[in-house]
């Protein structure tokens, strides 16, 4: 014979309330994460963020990406120059959707773990997906800077031997 007490009925209800509360907290944390990062000329740099590359969605030309953007950036004033760089393992790609359309950036070297996008930054909202062409998932570091990277100078001077 089992005796039921009035407090026994509250326990399942408390579990439901606790589960619902936890779900609401996790949903709110996801909402905070997806709030756009606002930047304008003169932002403190480099801005760095991290996450996990790849995801289940095949973007077609830019590898596999997450169902939603890894980062959302709102450029509040035109940027004369900005550079977005991602360092990760695997076969990274960078898909950026912004005011001038969609861009897919692949590494210069298939074995490279670095992908970079640079140029003029129009005012507007940019959604950034850090993908993986091999359907892998890897931790990544993303940095945003306004500094131009100067490539090493190519010596165009040729050596000539003069014979008399």
Query: What tens digit of pLDDT does each residue of 70-113 get?
Result: 999 999 999 999 999 999 999 999 999 999 999 999 988 777 78
pLDDT in tens, 19-69: 434 333 333 333 334 579 999 999 998 999 999 999 999 999 999 999 999
Nearest Cα to 99, choosing from 129, 70, 120, 69? 120
The phi, psi pair for 29, rounded to 5°, reads: -65, -40
* Confidence check: pLDDT of 1 > 70: no
Rounded CA-CA distance 6/8 in Å is: 5
Q: What sign does the dihedral 24-125-36-66 (CA atoms) show? A: positive
CB neighbour list of residue 129: distance below 8 Å, 6 or more residues apart? 55, 59, 62, 65, 66, 69, 70, 94, 95, 96, 97
Question: The pTM is what?
Answer: 0.70
């Amino acid at each position: 014979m089992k005796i039921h007490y009035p407090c026994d009925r509250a326990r399942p209800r408390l579990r439901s309330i606790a589960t619902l509360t936890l779900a609401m907290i996790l949903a709110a944390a996801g909402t905070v994460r997806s709030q756009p990062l606002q930047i304008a000329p003169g932002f403190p740099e480099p801005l760095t963020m991290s996450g996990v590359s790849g995801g289940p969605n095949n973007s077609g030309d830019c590898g596999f990406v997450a169902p939603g953007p890894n980062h959302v950036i709102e450029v509040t004033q035109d940027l004369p120059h900005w550079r977005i760089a991602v360092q990760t393992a695997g076969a990274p790609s960078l898909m950026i959707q912004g005011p001038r359309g969609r861009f897919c950036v692949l590494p210069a070297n298939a074995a490279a773990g670095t992908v970079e996008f640079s140029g003029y930054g129009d005012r507007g909202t940019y959604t950034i997906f850090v993908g993986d062409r091999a359907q892998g998932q890897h931790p990544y570091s993303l940095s945003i800077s306004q500094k131009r990277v100067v490539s090493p100078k190519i010596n165009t001077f040729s050596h000539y031997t003069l014979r008399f």
